[in-house]
Amino acid sequence: MTSEEVLALFGKTGALLTGHFLLTSGLHSSTYLQCALVLQHPKFAEALGSDLASHFRDEQLDLVIAPALGGIIVAHEVAQALGVRALFAEREGGKMHLRRGFAIGSGERCLVVEDVVTTGGSTKEVMGVVEALGGVVAGVGALIDRSGGAAAFPVKHAALVTLAIENFPPETCPFCRQGSPPLVKPGSRNLIVRGGVPTTPPPGPPHLG
């Protein structure tokens, strides 16, 4: 899929949201990409994962790893397309760790993937987990890079879509100063905010074409 087709898919599934959002990074934004609304449809998840995997087929990878929770399905679909293992790291005590019996062998070549990259912080944390266990970070991938390419990594990296979306520290957020629309934390109910009124996404599967 082209970048335009990926964004159209996000739009048709109600995953491209506008309002006033608190991102995982702590920044505020008027735009949020709720990847779960796309990835809930297995055929879309498979197509996106295959497209992302195509950027790394020559890297001789042993596994794909992502931060929980948002990257789990992405890692699974990319790993399936590449024929390798899919792992995820979890935050415990404020730090990323491997749990559930997951292991990375010394020298294993790992692809770190995310659903959405904003600052690259979570991705870099997972890269640190891989390296601490003796693995080799061979690449970084994401469905969406909303940093406009500003999130830099010292390895090969690719995203299906790169967007330059403005983010704001809480103390300079224009929406906070205006007092509207209300701040919404992603993952909570009534995620879409239009005209200051929270609403829910329309039910039912989307149709492409």
Q: What is the pLDDT of residues 56-81, one digit of tens each?
A: 999 999 999 999 999 999 999 999 99
In this predicted structure, what is the pLDDT of residue 73?
Answer: 98
Query: Do 206 and 7 form a contact (C-beta atoms < 8 A)?
Result: no
Rg (CA), the chain: 17
pLDDT confidence of residue 47:
97
CB 125 within 8 A of CB 140: no
Condensed to tens digits (0 to 9), the pLDDT of residues 156-165 reads: 999 999 998 8
Among 168, 185, 9, 23, smallest CA distance to 198 is for: 185
What pLDDT does 187 receive?
59
- Tokens for 158, please give them: 């690719």
Q: Are 107 and 113 in contact (CB under 8 A)?
A: no
Q: How far, in Å, CA of 60 to CA of 112, rounded?
A: 14
Q: Which residues pair with 88 in a beta bridge?
A: 66
pLDDT less than 70: residues of the chain: 187-209
For 117, other C-beta atoms within 10 Å of its C-beta total: 25
CATH class of segment(s) 3-199: alpha beta
Tell me the longest C-alpha to C-alpha distance in the chain: 52
SS3 call for 117: strand
d(CA 197, CA 18): 11
Please report where in the chains the tokens 């055929």 appear, as a residue.
43
Query: Which tokens sit at 85?
Result: 């293992």
